[in-house]
Structure 1
Amino acid sequence: MFTASTLSGSKPEQYAQLLEQARGLLYGEHDRIANAANLSALVYHSLPDLNWVGFYFYDGNELVVGPFQGLPACVRIPLHKGVCGAAASTRQTQRVEDVHAFPGHIACDAASRSELVVPLVRNGELVGVFDLDSPLPGRFDAEDQQGLEAIAQAWIEALQ
């Protein structure tokens, strides 16, 4: 049975602890849905000031909602729309301090004010995105980005 431990220390130390917990959850499991569900729950319940954490999977045409924690979400996102679409189409992490200032932002949850979206790319192919929303403006910084990119990479590596 998995038990999450309380994160402590500096932000980089906390992300190192969270990554270790994530790897423990992923160990020996290769199913993308199961792993996405567990990682969404782990991150949502471990980090403060989040109102949505989850995955969107690329179906060859658009992003389709996968496992998540938070309020019901937009089901389909075109690659040219919103922060998730920008991350998917550019294959670069998008860190947005104020989603209301982001051109084409899709407001799935009106409470969201900032967002971080990590593209999930395996062997050069887009798999989807790992999306985090916060009700606080400017919630995500470079340390959050680095830590969450490492967690997303662990998810990709578990796919085999």
Structure 2
Amino acid sequence: MSTDTLYRDMLNQIKALCADEPDLIANLANISALIYDQLDDINWAGFYLTRAPQMLVLGPFQGKVACVRIPFSQGVCGAAARTQEAQLVADVHQFSGHIACDSASNSEVVIPIVVDGNTVAVLDIDSPSVNRFDKADQQGLQAIGDYLQSLDWS
């Protein structure tokens, strides 16, 4: 299966999961489980939610225990939240200010979810392999992030 097909199918499944469910946390929990199940060679998939000014707080996820709070000023997730731009990091150990929540993680892609100009969350995917993610992964996950903007974040 091509990467484009994989992400298109995942997005369709996410839309179906969320269609009749208004609860944000329930939806994010199912989405993180779906991503964790569908993507090969990952060790963490989930969300950090903006719950305080310039601060991300752990949300629904799949994987090992994670950092609970990440300031917008730190790490790959913080960079995505702060710049409102996706972060594609081939080797997290080369990323200045990387936060090692799981020492087994070696590459990462983070998609900011922006609603009305504000970062409301980030979608964070980690892999134990260096250079696991490419532009096609980023684009597929960005399409999922774009859809997530339509959920009720209030």
Range 120-129 or range 104-113, more displaced: 120-129
TM-score w.r.t. the length of structure 2 is 0.95
Identity of aligned residues (%): 53
Count of paired positions: 152
Q: Unaligned regions of 5+ residues in structure 1, if any?
A: 1-8
Give distance in 1, aligned partners of 2:76 and 2:117. 21
Per-residue Cα deviation, 1:88-107 (whole angstroms, up to 9, x for no partner)? 00000000000000000000
How far apart in 1 are the matches of 2:34 and 2:52? 28
Query: Could you give the per-residue CA deviations for residues 85-136 of structure 1, whole angstroms, max 9, x where no partner exists?
Result: 0000000000000000000000000000000000010111210111000001
Contact 1:95 1:145 in 2 (8 A): yes
**Mapped pair 1:16 → 2:18:** no
> What aligned pairs does 1:15-54 form with structure 2 within 5 A after superposition?
15-54=7-46
Bigger shift: residues 40-49 or 123-132: 123-132
Q: List 4+ stretches of structure 1 deviating above 4 A.
A: none
- TM-score, structure 1 length as denominator? 0.92
C-alpha deviation, 1:159, in angstroms = 2.0
**Alpha-carbon separation, structure 2, partners of 1:60 and 1:123:** 17
Q: Who is 2:136 aligned against?
A: 143
Provide the C-alpha distance between the structure 2 equivalents of 1:92 and 1:152, rounded to a whole number of angstroms.
Answer: 11
Gaps of 5+ in 2: none
The root-mean-square deviation of aligned C-alpha atoms, in Å, is: 1.0
Post-superposition shift, 1:150?
1.0
Offset at 1:143? 0.6
Letter in 1 for 2:89: V
Residue by residue over 1:37-87, the C-alpha shift from the partner in whole angstroms, topping out at 9 and shown as x without a partner, is: 000000000110010000000113200000000000000001100000000
Q: Where does residue 108 of structure 1 map in the other structure? A: 101
Question: Partner of 1:126 in structure 2?
Answer: 119
SS in 2 for 1:157: coil
